Amino acid sequence: MLGGLLLSGLLIATACKRNEAKGQSGSGTNTTVRTEDTEREQARFDAERRPEKVVEALGIKPGSKVADVGAGSGLLTVHLARAVRPNGKVVATDIDEGVLELMQQRLQNAGLAEYVERKVVAADTPGLEKGEYDAILLAEVDHYFSDPVMWLKTAAESLKPGGRIVISNRIHHRTKSISAATKAGLKTIIEATPVPTHFIAVFVVPEASK
């Protein structure tokens, strides 16, 4: 029953992301209007959330492979794609294929679609290949997991040596997020509050655990 409730919560959250991504354009048929709405939404998000701080925390660069977990409509994904191009890759996951389709439009508008692989995953498993990622980002998503400790343990197996897991979420989730990461055997190396509403925490697998 608990898993079902959490899955429902995830579905509601992704539906909200989808509605936000549509902005004020409604069902509209005017591509220019939709593009303008998307650009305004992106500009507002960038000003309020300072995504460059998330990219900095991830430590990614051209050629990196990074997972954007619960990526939604791609407001952060576009920044990750810019950071890893021209020879890197972003794997953007979500439980909702529809919201990933909205992401595709955003990526195409930004000329970044070729750097992003969209992937539908189950609600409580990372769905990532082992040992392939330089960084894994969880932005406003880890509090939905029914077992965040196990999720993080599994995700850590997908990191390359020296790879990072970065959690960015609202301040009121901070204590639970860091506690889950610690119980999963991860070590906090950086913690910051780049904007008043959100924290960023960077975790690695301790050398003794490898």
* Mean per-residue pLDDT over the chain, rounded: 86
* CATH number of the domain to which 162 belongs: 3.40.50.150
What pLDDT, on the 0 to 100 scale, is given for residue 159?
A: 98
Residue 15 pLDDT exceeds 50? no
Instruction: Tell me if the pTM is above 0.85.
Output: no
Q: Positive or negative, the Cα torsion across 183, 130, 188, 141?
A: negative
- Give all strands of the β-sheet with 187-195 in edge-to-edge order: 116-120, 89-94, 65-69, 133-139, 159-170, 198-204, 187-195
Specify the amino acid at residue 121: V
What pLDDT, on the 0 to 100 scale, is given for residue 24?
A: 35
Reported as a pLDDT band with limits 50, 70 and 90, residue 23 is: very low
Residue 16 pLDDT exceeds 80? no
**Best-predicted range by mean pLDDT (14-23, 40-49, 155-164):** 155-164
Cis peptide before 86 (omega within 30 of 0): yes
DSSP 172: G
Residue 28 pLDDT exceeds 90? no
Residues 120-148 have pLDDT tens digits of 999 999 999 999 999 999 999 999 999 99
Residue 20 pLDDT exceeds 60? no
What pLDDT, on the 0 to 100 scale, is given for residue 42?
A: 84
- Give me Rg for the CA atoms of the chain: 16
Residues 84-116 have pLDDT tens digits of 999 999 999 999 999 999 999 999 999 999 999
Residue 14 pLDDT exceeds 80? no
User: What are residue 138's DSSP bridge partners?
Assistant: 69, 167
DSSP 143: G
**What is the average pLDDT across 171-175?**
97
**Residue span of the structural domain in which 149 resides:** 2-209
Do the beta carbons of residue 83 and residue 55 sit within 8 Å?
Answer: yes
Alpha-carbon distance of 201 to 186, in angstroms, equals 11
Do the beta carbons of residue 129 and residue 67 sit within 8 Å?
Answer: no
State whether residue 24 is helix, strand or coil.
Answer: coil
Kindly state the percentage of the chain with pLDDT values over 90. 73
Reported as a pLDDT band with limits 50, 70 and 90, residue 2 is: very low
What pLDDT, on the 0 to 100 scale, is given for residue 208?
A: 64
Q: For tokens 């409509």, name the residue.
A: 73
More confident residue, 111 or 6: 111
The structural domain count of the chain equals: 1
